[in-house]
Chain A
Amino acid sequence: MRQKQVLWAWSFLAVPILFYAVVRFYPTLEAFWISTTNWNLLTKPSFIGLANFKRLVADPVFWQVFRNTALYLLLGTPISLLLAFTIAYHLDRVRFLHGFIRALYFLPFLTTAAAMAWVWRWFYQPVPIGLFNNLLAGIGIAQQPFLRSTTQSLPAVLAPAIWAGLGFQVVIFMAGLRAIPTTYYEAARIDGVSNGTILRRITLPLLKPTIVFLVVFSSIGFLRIFDQVYNMTSQTSSDPGGPLNATKPLVLMIYQTAFSSFDMGYAAAQTVVLFLVLLVVSLLQLRLLRDR
């Protein structure tokens, strides 16, 4: 009887396992193999050992891109979480037009990243068409180069990415806040505890699962940032990830290496690095934030 159940369980599991093996695991392993070859898609791949990785380490663009990706992660995740929590915390108390305001925050999340990026790109233009620069010029402040600067362009690209993801995080935070039993708050109020203490002692500790989820989820998102950067810094004939690679994330470099230069082995090597970074960051966060 038991054996029969096990058999049934496995036969049901076989389908997803097979699916994952073919669609997920096999290409992943294949990527490891390709990363040790020289392959331009047109000819047969030739094995070159770790030469691609050596080239990667010696490539200044890779280190610039690596630094950018780290910046997207280190700026993006805390800023977006802090903003989302602040909004959710206060929105939770708003009764008037609550649903409407929440929908407003959620709206950008539903919008196509490409369309959104193009609108923001237009905001950043110089006078006479750029919204921000027109405002600055209107109050007598010098124009800012924004996307045309090597220092301002990364934050300028990051801003809409944070803004777009905010709605999702707010909704998750609100769900987390709602899940905290009101009895805790009532008890705290009766004891005359201040709002700050309630936040620190009750709300945040009980939100931990929500926070862990959002930290991991948004970290992976920022490590894989692509659409915003690609659309804001490129057009059919432009400079994706520029100027001077100031905004280029790892995924964009992989894309360019693979589908512009057709240097598949080198692109696969970059993919392997990205995979390892994602793995390490996710494991680290889960370990640091897990319940003891």
Chain B
Amino acid sequence: MLLGLMVSVGAIAGAKAQTVEIEYWQYVFDARVKAMNELIKRFEAANPNIKVKQTTFPYADYQTKIAAAMPAGQGPDVVQLFYGWLDNFVGAKFIQPLPRDAFPPAMIEKEFYPIVSAMKRDGEYYALPTAVRSLALFYNKKIFQEAGLDPNKPPKTVDELLDMAKKTTKRDGAGNMLSAGITLDFPGQDYHWWRETLLRQNGGAPYSDDNKTVTYNSEAGAKSLNWYADLQRVHKVGQVGFMDEGQAAFRAGRAAMTIDGSFRLGAFGGIKNFEWGVAELPASADGKKANFASYWVNAITTKPTGEKLEAAKKFLAFVTTPEAMQLWLETVGELPARKAAAETEKNLNHPIYGPFLKALAYSHATVFVDELAQRQVSLDMINRVLLQNQDAKAALAEAAAAEQPILDRFYKK
């Protein structure tokens, strides 16, 4: 037995001498962890001399853990981060530019969706996504049918959306809402819908091209904000806080329409009592389309050198292959970040993935410097309009005055 033990110890030690181990970090989200485990398995099978150790943390602690580990010379070799955190990570020298030999910028620009340009600083790409997410309109076919609407004809323009929302809203005798025409959930995805879709459809833009100046305080801003607020104020087809959350109302069958991201597909997949459909976000009356795309990216940290760096490069290249992206789509429900992987005949015509994928071609990825603080500014703005009857123009001016210092504080550094 002793001999056997010695042999096996020797075998482990021998294997270790040739094996490179790299560490990969992401936050805990079951489907993502599962997808990554599968990818690591396939990667290790193809590269027997590389071992990848996956470590996960709860979302709330994630950034803190990285910040604590990196200066101590520990932490991951390849790390997943939200695209909005990039400037912080680059500024802290936690991640290095993607080596040009393995990830030539020309290849990235040709093969990935243009929204990945948000990962480019001074001509260098710092990170790449496996998958991206966009927004779409989910609608309840049963409610559509009950209201005499064609369950296979979701609204194509915002005017149609309003019209259908009016027809599908249900109230009791006292006027209390029983089922919403469209959910109003600014803390959910509606603030992206307003900022990246409605605002642009009215001819505005949320930020200047260099992202340093707030530009939504405009005529287009007021027009789009009023249109959104009127859904509750005038047309009463939705109500903020109805059923607590927009997605909860939709899931319970108490909303005809809701706007949400591709990451909600998993949750809506469990709906049993009605059939639902997905449509592209409605265009403006003159046909203008816009959407919001966001993503998590993978980057190589400043930690690995030599053969570890080579292994990290190989691993990052692997998780951004079309094959990995297809697996991610099927496991997590998030969309491939490469055009070729996304826009296959099968994916584009898919009744559920299709509308999300088509949106990627006209999506914008907002650059955030402090995502939560910036979101809070938007929430306060809509609350002042809906709860305190503040005029849309005044609300926009106040929001811009609150958000600009957040941008200034960041870009000054």
Interface residues of A (CB under 8 A from B): 40-43, 121-122, 125-129, 137, 140, 143, 145, 147-150, 235, 237-239, 242-245, 256, 259-262
Cβ of B361 under 8 Å from chain A = no
B244 cross-chain contacts in A, Cβ below 8 A: 121-122, 125, 129, 235
CA distance A98 to B264 in the complex (A): 50
A150 cross-chain contacts in B, Cβ below 8 A: 383, 387-388
B387 cross-chain contacts in A, Cβ below 8 A: 145, 148-150, 243-244
Q: Quote the shortest CB–CB distance from A62 to chain B (angstroms).
A: 14
Of listed A42, A125, A129, residue having the most chain B CB within 10 A: A42
Interface residues of B (CB under 8 A from A): 60, 63-64, 67-68, 70, 88-89, 91-92, 94, 172, 174, 176-178, 187-188, 239-245, 254, 370, 372-373, 376, 379-380, 383-384, 387-388
Given contacts A125-B243, A148-B241, contact A261 B373 (CB under 8 A): yes
A129 cross-chain contacts in B, Cβ below 8 A: 243-244
Q: A140-B174, A150-B387, A237-B187 are in contact. List 7 more A-B contacts (CB 8 A).
A: A42-B88, A121-B244, A125-B241, A126-B239, A235-B244, A239-B383, A244-B388
Check B92 against A259 for contact (C-beta < 8 Å): no
Check B370 against A261 for contact (C-beta < 8 Å): yes
A128 cross-chain contacts in B, Cβ below 8 A: 176, 178, 254
Given contacts A149-B387, A237-B187, A261-B370, contact A41 B67 (CB under 8 A): yes
- Of chain A, the residue at the smallest CB distance from B59 is A236
- Of chain A, the residue at the smallest CB distance from B379 is A239
Contact partner, B92, options A42, A126, A238, Cβ 8 Å: A42
B88 cross-chain contacts in A, Cβ below 8 A: 40, 42, 262
Check B60 against A259 for contact (C-beta < 8 Å): yes
B383 cross-chain contacts in A, Cβ below 8 A: 150, 239, 242-244
A40 cross-chain contacts in B, Cβ below 8 A: 88, 92
Contact partner, A147, options B63, B241, B370, B384, Cβ 8 Å: B241
* A/B interface sample: 21 pairs, CB < 8 A: A40-B92, A41-B63, A41-B64, A41-B68, A42-B89, A122-B244, A125-B244, A127-B172, A129-B243, A137-B176, A148-B240, A148-B241, A238-B187, A239-B376, A239-B379, A239-B383, A242-B383, A243-B379, A243-B383, A260-B373, A261-B373
CA distance A262 to B60 in the complex (A): 12
- Of chain B, the residue at the smallest CB distance from A141 is B174
A140 cross-chain contacts in B, Cβ below 8 A: 174
Check B372 against A260 for contact (C-beta < 8 Å): yes
CA distance A42 to B89 in the complex (A): 8
CA distance A44 to B315 in the complex (A): 31
A256 cross-chain contacts in B, Cβ below 8 A: 372
Check A127 against B177 for contact (C-beta < 8 Å): yes
- Of chain B, the residue at the smallest CB distance from A245 is B380
Q: Quote the shortest CB–CB distance from B347 to chain A (angstroms).
A: 27
Q: Quote the shortest CB–CB distance from B28 to chain A (angstroms).
A: 13
CA distance A243 to B380 in the complex (A): 7
B243 cross-chain contacts in A, Cβ below 8 A: 125-126, 129
Check B373 against A137 for contact (C-beta < 8 Å): no
A143 cross-chain contacts in B, Cβ below 8 A: 176
- Of chain B, the residue at the smallest CB distance from A134 is B176
Q: Quote the shortest CB–CB distance from B260 to chain A (angstroms).
A: 11
- Of chain B, the residue at the smallest CB distance from A143 is B176
A125 cross-chain contacts in B, Cβ below 8 A: 241, 243-244
B67 cross-chain contacts in A, Cβ below 8 A: 41-42, 262
CA distance A127 to B173 in the complex (A): 12
- Of chain A, the residue at the smallest CB distance from B92 is A42
The 4 closest A-B pairs by CB, nearest first: A42-B92, A260-B372, A41-B67, A127-B176
- Of chain B, the residue at the smallest CB distance from A122 is B244
- Of chain B, the residue at the smallest CB distance from A133 is B176
CA distance A220 to B383 in the complex (A): 31
CA distance A41 to B91 in the complex (A): 12
Q: Quote the shortest CB–CB distance from A110 to chain B (angstroms).
A: 25
Check B92 against A43 for contact (C-beta < 8 Å): yes
